[in-house]
Amino acid sequence: MVESRLTRILLRLGAGMTLAFIYLPLFIIGLYAFNRNVTQKWPIENYSTRWFSVAYHDEGVRDALKLSIQAAVGATVVALVLGTLASMAVARYRFFGREVITFAVILPIALPGIITGLALQATIVDVLGPATGNYVTFGLVTIIIGHATFCVVVVYNNVIARMRRTAGSLDEASADLGADNWQTFRYVMFPQMRTALLAGALLAFALSFDEVVVTTFTSGAQQTLPVWIFAALARPAELPIVNVVALFLILASVIPVYLATRLAGASGITAEHPKKSAVAASIEAEP
């Protein structure tokens, strides 16, 4: 009993130290956002919200925020389409090289970002540029392409994990009842995977929103919010605004990650012998 109590104490202490190790720096940068002085000094002597107004009216911050949102939304949409198609193919069909697809889809997120960025930059400058008469240039489209290369992974992992937990016999039951491929997807597959899709989309958006390395190689002269922060660090007068923007990014990242973790736990249909009547009711409901 003594050992059990000691074990619980040590586990709680270890968990507390782990959380402190992760979140103490974030807490400190959040406090610095309320520092009245331009220079940073610990402990903070005077607190103020003056820099929130300055950051809000900073045109550079607003332009960077707008570009970050556009890039994140675009990358998320591309990742949803490609990640869903790849996961459906791997989870529901058997073909030569199926396992290679899983490896190929996951690999980009394991590669160093600087390698991915260099590869994309070389492709845009040396291949796509001359091939299209320099029509493809660095900007929003190239940022979206760069972000989508690794955002696909989180969508793919979420969807394929959900599909492997659900009963494939539901698709067979739908086909036996006369449903075509679109009806099967709309009434059988999509209801099972929609929370996984939403969770993957939220994670992809968060991943894209704070990307720096790949963005540096694919954005040209434009700046997303993380790139703006990186550039502003070289200007000491901008440091208070950087702290405010950093606090905003922390809070903005919490929401999609929290929702994604909640949605990822939603269970799909896993019955081994599902009733065809449920599938038939869905199919017959189509006008």
Task: Let me know if residue 1 belongs to a domain.
Answer: no
Within-domain flag for 148? yes
What's 219-243 look like in SS3? Answer: CCCCCCHHHHHHHHCCCHHHHHHHH
Side-chain-side CA neighbours of residue 81 (13 Å): 6
Total domains in the chain come to 1
Residue 197 within a domain:
yes
Residue 15 placed within a domain: no
Q: What are phi and psi of 47, to 5 degrees?
A: -110, 145
DSSP category for residue 269? -
Is 53 part of a structural domain of the chain? Answer: no
Q: What is the CATH number of the domain that holds 153?
A: 1.10.3720.10
Q: How far apart are CA 14 and CA 229, in angstroms?
A: 33
- Cβ atoms of 58 and 229 within 8 Å: the answer is no
Q: What residues make up the domain containing 207?
A: 60-284
97 within some domain: yes
Q: Highest-confidence range of 46-50, 149-153, 165-169, 184-188, by mean pLDDT?
A: 149-153
Quick check: 108 and 116 in contact, CB under 8 A? yes
pLDDT (tens digit per residue) in 244-273 = 888 888 887 777 777 767 765 544 444 444
How do residues 120-144 score in pLDDT, each as one tens digit? 888 888 877 777 776 777 888 889 9
Give the position of tokens 């970050």.
68
Query: Does residue 279 lie in a domain region?
Result: yes
Query: Has residue 144 been placed in a domain?
Result: yes
**pTM of this prediction?**
0.74
